[in-house]
Amino acid sequence: MYIPDIPRTRKQPKVFAFDHCFWTMDESNTPKYAGQEVVFKCLGEGILDNAFQGYNACIFAYGQTGSGKSFSMMGNGDQPGLIPRLCCALFERVHREECEAHSFKLEVSFMEIYNEKVRDLLDPKGSRLSLKVREHKVLGPYVDGLSQLAVTSFEAATETEEGQETVAGMSSRPANEAKEESTQTHAP
């Protein structure tokens, strides 16, 4: 009879790889500090270049509640985040290249994934219904029923017809409701 070795009770260390690590805690520490512009230069420009080469683009933020996902993604009035910067650069590039006899159709979607439930942040009814993630045989994964709005500017992508903001502050979670883990994400 063969009895396999019993694994040690000590867990093996886990190794995680990442492309970038940004210091955003102390703006007075100038050599280390990475503001919104630095984050955009490192991440946004590559996403934009890939989109113009024909690849789908998605931005995904994951982390504990209160860790800065929404600020990194959307920023504020003084410091626009990754999404506003990316959208502005996208529309600038589209307008620049449209003059060269190219035509573009831009669509935007915003969703939140929290507790394994997908919610459409652009749903005009403000529905709290959980959407289903499906997989198309050719096109790959998609969210069934997720709004896809044709837009011509960043402002059009973030405001309703009544001029109200649709994306900022739309999280299901109150900011002070900190948990050990969070599955909240934002993605256009």
Q: Which residues are annotated as a binding site?
A: 63-70
Place of tokens 């903001």: 165
**Residue 23 in tokens:** 């210091």
Q: Per the structure block, which two tokens stand in for 9?
A: 């009770």
Which residues make Cβ contacts (< 8 Å) with residue 120, sequence separation at least 6? Answer: 109, 110, 111, 127, 131, 143, 145, 146, 147
Binding-site residue ranges for ATP: 63-70
What does the DSSP assignment read for 4-69? PPPPPSSPPPP----S---B-S-TT-TTTB--HHHHIIIIIHHHHHHHHTT---------STTSSH
Dist. CA 122–CA 146, nearest whole Å: 8
Please, which residues have CB within 8 angstroms of residue 116's CB and are 6 or more apart in sequence?
A: 183
The tokens of 175 are what? Answer: 């900011």
Q: Are 157 and 168 in contact (CB under 8 A)?
A: no
